[in-house]
Structure 1
């Protein structure tokens, strides 16, 4: 796959490390667990959206945009990083925040919400959960056009085929790293939300004939809906790259650890965040990686992976959101 033919801005000029979770592995007594530290990507606070934005912002600049427009939840990591990319490129940024939990937006909230203000967001539009988010972003783009400006719309999570190329690149990166380290992986686990990370990894692994199973842990939707979303986006991404069909059977997105809904804390999430911090000194986030790690921990406890197997967790970042969940995580 010749990714160099796609314009790209470079926000992370190095490969993110793969580390062994030595103490968590010993604590659980099952497979050997490893972690791909995509919380250490470039831009403010890091996280998986940085890889997607490298391709999306390059496209925005090629189109002459002066303002990035995107959408996310009230503590959106994607919105933080899109805003950070805009700052880096000398662009403006306008955000649409969706209250997926009714009444959850607070202008004075900590976490990413505080960072939106610190980074100098041009405007924030708050809408209720279930609103037509595309229409909300289009309205902002139309307003900008009337002012003689040019807005570029980035979908939630940066999750379209162009953005998913960031995780095709990540799959190639981690395959090169595991080859260099002599680390034959038996399985990869990631959070599955807006689907771009999951779909991009799937296409990257499939396109390289890696034959490493990939399991997504859902943070929002039921399994059949999410698996359909991931497969559709994976196929769109494969089509962009000129690859063949992506097998539907390669898509797994388990939904047992979502809890009461998106961003709503669960006991498993709290345990996972505390275990990673206290055993291996790594910060997860309460919305994505906390719930995904809760799923991985539960799968290990159930004996889903054999003792001595090598399982890699893709850490997609989000630690700034921890500060908005301080009361839940202090216990």
Structure 2
């Protein structure tokens, strides 16, 4: 499986830390570790950076001067796509889907503030359920009318080319595990647009790793999300000419979604406080807070058994914390 044949920009000078969480491990009687992808390069860090390394390389190879993408009003993906555009000297246009009615506010803090600070060229706000592909096509046509070259990036960068970023992360985890003499029984990760989850599965499966990857859903019901993740696994594995993981290897638990995407839950708020107060790690309310709530919930029910060594993949998002201050205090 040769990732080197795919053009790639590098926004992070080396591997992100893989650290033990000693205080929380002692409290819950499990050996808990964390992969710090919140410390990836670009503004504020986060998992989309790995996907953008491959996607932006493709954009540059095609002569693009403007990136276009979609996300929610506090989208980490939109923040990082804009940051990559600034890094490369490109323009960037964002289409924001109000998945919760009335959730966009031009003067909001969090990622919305950063959109303005980094000089987004245009923001278009759409209601939930809009045809986002059509909206991106319209933005692309508007860019062409200006004599420029657009490059559209799907939500979350979760297409096979972007998913390669987490195939690379899986290789990085395995190399760090070997170096540290640590063997993990389970990896836990937030499962949203599916690219991070699928990339880890493809990369770990290609290495014949025999642990479990547990996705914690942040938006969709379990069956729907598992289908999305497995489809992307198959597509990505085909690109790499390797075998995809079996369907039964895909687990996307939906018990911690709560009332809906980006809507706070008591379990999320408690998980964010727990990580901050035991390990000094900042999670976010939309993705990692709910995923960490899932990790703690699986420990509480005994589904993660005493003695298990578990790696939590921190996909970033803490710049959005400030927009949820009222729900976290």
Paired residue secondary structure (1:127) = strand
CA distance in 1, matches of 2:274, 2:24: 7
Q: Unpaired segments of 5 or more residues in structure 1?
A: none
Within the alignment, does 1:319 sit opposite 2:315 as a pair? no
Q: How does 1:110-129 map to 2 (within 5 A)?
A: 110-129=109-128
How far 1:245 sits from its partner (Å)?
3.7
For the residue of structure 2 that corresponds to 1:117, the secondary structure is helix
Instruction: Quote the Cα distance in structure 1 between the aligned partners of 2:304 and 2:325.
Output: 32
Measure how far apart 1:244 and its partner are: 2.2
Number of aligned residue pairs: 329
Q: CA RMSD in A?
A: 0.6
2:242 aligned with 1:243: yes
Alignment of 1:10-25 (within 5 A): 10-25=10-25
8 Å CA contact 2:159, 2:232 repeated in 1: yes
**2:173 counterpart SS class:** helix
Structure 1 stretches of 4+ moved >6 Å? none
What is the distance in 2 between the residues matched to 1:93 and 1:299?
40
- Residue 305 of structure 1 deviates from its aligned partner by 1.8
Please list the CA deviations of residues 126-178 of structure 1 after superposition, one character each: whole Å capped at 9, or x if unmatched: 00011000011110001111111111000000000000000000000000000
Task: For residue 64 of structure 1, report the CA deviation from its aligned partner.
Answer: 0.3
Write the deviation string for residues 47-80 of structure 1: whole angstroms up to 9, x where unpaired: 0000000000000000000000000000000000
Report the secondary structure of 2:189's partner residue: strand
Residues 27-42 of structure 1 correspond to what in structure 2 (within 5 A)? Answer: 27-28=27-28, 30-42=29-41
CA distance in 2, matches of 1:118, 1:200: 31
Equivalent in the alignment of 1:8: 8
TM-score (norm 1): 0.99
Map 1:190-229; keep pairs closer than 5 Å. 190-229=189-228
Counterparts of 2:211 and 2:153, CA distance in 1: 30
How does the TM-score come out when normalised to structure 2? 0.99
Distance 2:140 2:260 in 1: 30
Question: CA shift at 1:211, angstroms?
Answer: 1.3
Contact 2:16 2:37 in 1 (8 A): yes
Residue 254 (structure 1) aligns with: 253
Structure 1 CA distance for aligned equivalents of residues 14 and 38 of structure 2:
13
Task: Give the equivalent residue in structure 1 for 2:286.
Answer: 287
- Cα offset for 1:306? 2.1
Q: What corresponds to 1:133 in structure 2?
A: 132
**Distance (whole Å) between structure 2 residues aligned to residue 43 and residue 73 of structure 1:** 19
1:296 Cα deviation from its structure 2 partner: 0.4
Please give the alpha-carbon distance, in whole angstroms, between the structure 2 residues aligned to 1:154 and 1:269: 29
The CA distance in 2 between the partners of 1:309 and 1:244, in whole Å, is 28
Between the aligned partners of 1:244 and 1:257, the Cα distance in structure 2 is 31
